[in-house]
Amino acid sequence: MQKKTDKFLDKIVKKDYNNELEKVLEEKYFNENVKNILLNILYKIETAYKDYEKVKPNVPTKEELIETIIEGIKNNCDTIKIVKLNSKESQLLGNRTFLVDKEKKRIVCYPIERKVLYCLSKINKNEQIIKDKHSIINKTLSDLINVGNNIDTVEPMRDFNGYSWTTIPREIESIYHNLAYQNMRILVGYKFLDSWIKNNHFIIDYFESFQNKLEKKYGKQEQENLLELFEKLSILLAYRYNKKLNTWLQKEKKETEAKLAKMQDNQKFIQEITKEKQDLEKQIRKIDETINNKTDLQEEYEKRNENLPLEEKIFSIRILSKMMMEEREQKIKRIEKLNILLTPKKFVVYKEELQRRENYLKILETTQIDEEIEKYILDLQKTFLQCYRKNIEKIDNKQELMKYIYEFRYYCLLPFNQEKLVYQIEELQSEIEKTQMLLIEKANNYKLIEVFSRENQLNLEILKNIFYVRVINLEDLYMKCTKEKESYYIQLFDENVFEEKIEINNIGVLNKKDLAFKINKKVKIFN
């Protein structure tokens, strides 16, 4: 009876969200094709989400995700243009599959549902979610988190269809952004990242909160290691994949190096600051004189408008006065900054900040950027796994432990690059096996999992395969061991999925007495 009630409630929820989206679409000038695509996206999320949140603990609820999508369409998207491949309209995209213009609230995209959903996630975000005081990374780390979250938003529809879980690496917009974001999500939780991403004001410094959260959970040294890896990786990824940030980073690098070069000669640096202050003070006096003299103000008005195109012309002297007062305020603020630099202590702090920026930006000098990115991604995984085991050690109940087993299985099956998954990376084998062993030992202690061998290493060799299968419900997982000639194999399966045979006698001579179950017998893995 309860199951029928749950299904009935699910239908009501689905109908309500469709109605909510329909109401939003009535206020938009989307054509029927666009409306059908949006409704189909919602339907696919509805269909897939139960499996998605089972496979991947620590995610938003289905309701939270759908509400975010609908709110984004309502508030941030006025135009969605679907273009066909090789049509004249597709020239708008060039070699891209979509175009997002946040200022015009406009999306142009090929008729690919997961791409449309990616665009909706992208248009719904602030470009910068980190305060300016965290220079360089305020842009690059914001970009890493935003791109990672866009990919994360698409995942329920991209990898789940209500029957199976399949990940195709080439369908992920950026494997590196995704992996780094999933590391972050697992370390601090989706709720924290969600609040950070949706933060429209800078009242809370979420980057500082992020630092504090990492230190509290994993310790000072691990926090420092993680931050450096996330920050430098964000710079490399922005430089490699974001044209706009690539240009900005190159400019920042040149300017930072130039400023540091000037600061090597303290006397010359002070002279230049003093001269800049004097020039600004003259400009402020000139603004004051012009604003307070009608004739001078009229001349300035005509002079400025003379070479401006029509759409940029200043339409009244009153507007010009307001503009000049704003310019005056900016010059005063600049003088205040220069005064600070003239104090010895602030001079030292400023120089140290420039040196820190230079240190970060030096990584852009690499001639092998793809190899450098993969190196940082690899180092991040090693540090992540060391931190993740600290979480496992604190587990104190079966339910929590089962969630960690699901979560680590999800992590192992994340793409590391276009060819391999995380668990297939040779350099990570040691850290992955330590984590698997810890989880299996915990599961044995709680009698959550069947013991398949009295010998620990063999037990791990058998049970580690639960982290490599794409069965939705691990609780339904069975195993059977078979012998063919002199070799032993195991096969994992549930009612619907049979995994390929896996040889297990690659750790030495295997005797029947090493096994705690019978050959050719189907055994349920989880108790």
The full DSSP string for 373-391 is: HHHHHHHHHHHHHHHHHHH
Residue 159 included in any domain: no
DSSP string for residues in 144-202: HHHHHHHHHHHHHHHHB-SS-B---GGGSS-HHHHHHHHHHHHHH-HHHHHHHHH--SS
Domain-embedded: residue 387: no
φ, ψ dihedrals at 100, nearest 5°? -120, 120
Do 33 and 94 have their domain in common?
Answer: yes
Nearest alpha carbon to residue 177 among 363, 362, 380, 371: 380
d(CA 273, CA 268): 9
Q: How far apart are CA 394 and CA 371, in angstroms?
A: 36
Structure tokens at 302: 């005509």
Cβ(340)–Cβ(346) below 8 Å: yes
Q: How many CB atoms lie within 10 A of CB 294?
A: 10
Say how far apart CA 117 and CA 94 lie, in whole Å.
20
| Beta-carbon count within 10 A of 367 CB | 6
Q: Assess whether 409 and 315 both reside in one domain.
A: no
Chosen domain end from 124, 149, 168: 124
Distance CA 78, CA 276 (A): 45
Q: Is residue 186 part of a domain?
A: no
CA atoms within 13 Å, Cβ hemisphere of 228? 12
Residue 400 structural domain: 395-524
Report the number of distinct structural domains present in the chain.
Answer: 3
Nearest-angstrom CA–CA distance, 482 and 478: 13
Are 317 and 432 part of one and the same domain? no
> Are 311 and 427 in the same domain?
no
Taking the C-alpha atoms of residue 218 and residue 318, their distance in angstroms, rounded to an integer, is: 57
Which residue in the block uniquely carries the two structure tokens 């710079």? 235
What pLDDT is stored for residue 461 in this prediction? 85
133 phi and psi, to 5 degrees? -65, -20
Assigned domain for 350 exists: no
Q: Is 189 left (phi over 0), alpha (psi -120 to 50) or beta?
A: left
User: What is the pLDDT at residue 79?
Assistant: 93
Q: Are residues 288 and 401 in the same domain?
A: no
Residue pair 142/114 in contact by the 8 Å Cβ criterion: no
The helix/strand/coil state of 445 is helix
Q: What are the φ and ψ backbone dihedral angles of 439, each rounded to 5 degrees?
A: -65, -45
Q: Quick one: 335 and 407 in the same domain?
A: no
How far is CA 525 from its chain centroid? 34
Domain shared by 298 and 403, yes or no: no
Buried b (16+ CB within 10 A) or exposed e, 83-104: beeeeeeeeeeeeeebebeeee
Parallel, antiparallel or unpaired: strands 478-484 and 523-524: antiparallel
Residue type, 454: R
Specify whether the CB–CB gap between 527 and 476 falls below 8 A: no
Point out the residues of the chain with pLDDT beneath 50.
1-9, 11-13, 507-508
Dihedral sign for Cα 436, 438, 441, 445, please. negative
389, part of any domain? no
**Do residues 178 and 152 lie in contact, with contact meaning Cβ atoms separated by under 8 Å?**
yes
129 three-state secondary structure: coil
3-class SS of residue 292? coil
CA-closest candidate to residue 76, choices 146, 124, 22, 21? 124
| 417 and 499 belong to one structural domain | yes
| Other beta carbons within 10 Å of 162 | 12
Query: Do 400 and 511 fall into the same domain?
Result: yes
Q: What number of other Cβ atoms are within 10 A of residue 422's Cβ?
A: 19
- The closest alpha carbon to 408, from 374, 442, 457, 378, belongs to 442
Which of 318, 342, 366 terminates a domain? The answer is: 342
Whether 145 is in a domain gets the answer: no
Question: Is 332 contained in some domain?
Answer: yes
- Whether 363 maps to a domain, the answer reads no
Residue identified by tokens 């000098």 is 365
Under DSSP, the state recorded for 515 is: B
End of a domain among 297, 327, 342?
342
Q: Which positions ≥6 away from 319 have C-beta within 8 Å?
A: none
Shared domain for 324 and 417, answered yes or no, is no
For residue 505, the model assigns a pLDDT of 61
CA–CA dist 162, 157 (Å, integer): 9
Of 235, 209, 206, nearest in space to 131 by CA: 206
